[in-house]
Every structure is written in structure tokens, then in C-alpha cells.
Amino acid sequence: MSNYRCITLLCWGMLIMLPGYVHSADVTKGSKIYNRHCSHCHGQDGLSVLPNAPDLSQPRGIIRSDLRLKERVENGNRGCPSFKGIISERDILNLITYVRTLY
């Protein structure tokens, strides 16, 4: 069997297995998490309630990568508390997906 064919079969096999490991984010769960942990500072619609809370209804602060936003949620940022250990990684991704719907 040629190397090309082996690589092709390996790639197809990986693609077949991949969907079992990839899960799409749940916007509904993200909304519930946002309302519970974030809305009291960032407002129901992403419009900040507190003077220093970023306006999440504008894309400026949200156009970062999921990894960067996840780090901000986990570690806190400029007055925003750390949610590491409070919100699971999966739910942080749900939250990020929901926040992206606000603008």
C-alpha cells in the first residue's frame, strides 16, 4: 500500500471518529449562565450596568479567540471576578457562544 493511500485512510478514519469528541456549544445554557453570573454587571442585553464593565453588545471586546475569552472568564479581568472552578470549561464555552449573540 502506498504512503499516500495510508495517509488518506488515516485522515478519513480520524474524521469519522472526530464528531464523537466535538460538541457544539449550547446557547440556551450560556444564556442561563450569563443571567446568573454576568448580567448584574454587564446588563441583560450586554449593555454595561457598572461604569467599568465592558459593553458586551459591541464586538470590540468579543472578537478575541475563544481561548482568550475563556482565559478572561477563568482568571478574571479588570474588576471581573475569576470563575475558575465555579463555571466548568464546557459552560464557559456555552457562555462565550451566548455572549457573541448579544452584538
pLDDT tens readout for residues 24-42:
789 999 999 999 999 999 9
Q: Above 70 in pLDDT, residue 10?
A: no
Q: Is the pLDDT of residue 75 over 50?
A: yes
CA dist 89 and 16 (Å) reads: 25
**Number of structural domains found in the chain:** 1
Low-confidence winner among 19-23, 39-43, 50-54 (lowest mean pLDDT):
19-23
Q: Residue 14 — φ and ψ, nearest 5°?
A: -65, -40
Do the domain assignments include residue 61? yes
Whether 15 maps to a domain, the answer reads no
**CATH number, residue 57:** 1.10.760.10
62 falls within a domain: yes
Residue 54 belongs to some domain of the structure: yes
pTM, rounded to two decimals: 0.74
pLDDT for res 11: 54
Q: Is residue 1 part of a domain?
A: no
Question: Is residue 92, in this structure, part of any structural domain at all?
Answer: yes
Instruction: Show the domain range for 94.
Output: 25-102
Q: How far is CA 58 from CA 2, 61, 90, in A?
A: 52, 7, 24
